[in-house]
Amino acid sequence: MPTHTFTPDHYHNTIGSHPPVLHIAPGDTVITTTVDAGGFDANDKQVVGGPNPMTGPFYIDGAEVGDTLLVHLDKLTPNRVRGWGRPGLAQNVVDPAAVPALPSRDMMVDWNVDAKAGTASLKEPMGKLGNFTLPINPMVGCFGVAPDIGQAISTATSAEHGGNMDYNGFVQGVTVYFPVFQPGALFHLGDGHALQGDGEMSGTGIEISFDVQFTVELLKGVKSGWPRGENEEYIFTAGNARPLDQCVQNATTEMLAWLQQRYGYTVAEANLLIGFAVEYEVGNMFDPAYTMICKIPKRLLPK
């Protein structure tokens, strides 16, 4: 299958029905780059403003409303050394009475990201934490397809079309499924994180630019309602809304549908599977829409 190398020269702060930068066919692979959440590229030069500038959109030939687009995240690699993030928690993630004691939201910290060693360390030591070092886990914060009725939705938020889900499980090796709402699907991506805590509680991961490789496929006539994903161990669904309760409702309802659609379970069997074996993860609890992930272990499912 063809591999396209695409060098972006402009970016979008919304996910919408923008003119495509490239037409690709199901099975094709794209090698490209993304700038960070603030628009800084591989040379740490700001080439566009925030929020979360998107590379794309890519038009997938043959994609029609009601299909499902598959995106294999083949490679996600930070392509520079400096990452940045906020150390102070967001005001909405602590008890309202605890807000005044939070550090300033203006504080920023830089991280040295060593993609080869697989680590990120604080550039400046910070008290007891010193040059705090964490293993990296490169992930896509914001990606998705053009939403319905011609909407253009800010890359600060998320919905049925994907968007700024900020889930730290969207890593290399994962296959993501998006409902197709517009002809060609119009796939956008950006907002790479070298790593991110659950919930993106300070409103950032370690924000950094990426080298990206992805491959698309198309499930003709297979309807989905929300982003879905799959890795070696799990199938999962994402719900994007507020409050977290509704994210869980959206993701669980989508999982119920998928279990019946893909594996032929009855509704009662799908209920039982979720009731006794489901796992949940918090995507983000910072963005205008929060994200929760509903997971079922593959070891419990038919091959």
Hey, which residues between 195 and 214 contact a copy of itself (CB under 8 A)? 195-199, 201-202, 204-206
Among 4, 75, 242, 298, binds a copy of itself (CB under 8 A): 242
Is 107 an interacting residue with respect to a copy of itself (CB under 8 A)?
Answer: yes
Among 86, 161, 188, 228, binds a copy of itself (CB under 8 A): 86
- For residue 178, CA distances in Å to 106, 134, 219 come to 35, 31, 10
Q: Which is nearer to a copy of itself, 26 or 190 (CB)?
A: 190
Contact between 90 and 197 under an 8 Å Cβ cutoff? The reply is no
Is 27 an interacting residue with respect to a copy of itself (CB under 8 A)?
Answer: no
Is 92 an interacting residue with respect to a copy of itself (CB under 8 A)?
Answer: yes
- Give the DSSP H/E element, type plus range, for residue 263: helix 244-263
Is 66 an interacting residue with respect to a copy of itself (CB under 8 A)?
Answer: no
Number of residues engaging a copy of itself in binding (CB under 8 A): 84
Is 303 an interacting residue with respect to a copy of itself (CB under 8 A)?
Answer: no
Q: How far apart are CA 212 and CA 193, in angstroms?
A: 12
Minimum CB separation of residue 50 from a copy of itself in Å reads: 9
Is 117 an interacting residue with respect to a copy of itself (CB under 8 A)?
Answer: no
Q: How far apart are CA 203 and CA 169, in angstroms?
A: 17
Is 136 an interacting residue with respect to a copy of itself (CB under 8 A)?
Answer: no
Q: How far apart are CA 193 and CA 302, in angstroms?
A: 33
Count of other CB atoms within 10 angstroms of residue 274: 15
Task: Look at the chain and count its residues.
Answer: 303
| Tokens encoding 213 | 């490789």
| Tokens encoding 19 | 């003119």
Q: Which is nearer to a copy of itself, 8 or 16 (CB)?
A: 16
Q: How far apart are CA 117 and CA 279, in angstroms?
A: 31
Is 281 an interacting residue with respect to a copy of itself (CB under 8 A)?
Answer: yes
Q: Which is nearer to a copy of itself, 214 or 258 (CB)?
A: 258
Contact between 188 and 271 under an 8 Å Cβ cutoff? The reply is no
Decide the pairing of beta strands 22-24 and 54-60: parallel
Is 108 an interacting residue with respect to a copy of itself (CB under 8 A)?
Answer: no
Q: Which is nearer to a copy of itself, 9 or 95 (CB)?
A: 95
Is 126 an interacting residue with respect to a copy of itself (CB under 8 A)?
Answer: yes
Contact between 40 and 209 under an 8 Å Cβ cutoff? The reply is yes
- Give the DSSP H/E element, type plus range, for residue 238: strand 234-241
Q: Which is nearer to a copy of itself, 66 or 125 (CB)?
A: 125
Contact between 249 and 240 under an 8 Å Cβ cutoff? The reply is no
Is 124 an interacting residue with respect to a copy of itself (CB under 8 A)?
Answer: no
Is 19 an interacting residue with respect to a copy of itself (CB under 8 A)?
Answer: no
Is 221 an interacting residue with respect to a copy of itself (CB under 8 A)?
Answer: no
Q: How far apart are CA 275 and CA 217, in angstroms?
A: 32
* Subset of 173-192 contacting a copy of itself (CB under 8 A): none
| Tokens encoding 49 | 């403003």
Is 151 an interacting residue with respect to a copy of itself (CB under 8 A)?
Answer: yes
Is 278 an interacting residue with respect to a copy of itself (CB under 8 A)?
Answer: yes
Is 261 an interacting residue with respect to a copy of itself (CB under 8 A)?
Answer: no
* Subset of 29-58 contacting a copy of itself (CB under 8 A): 51
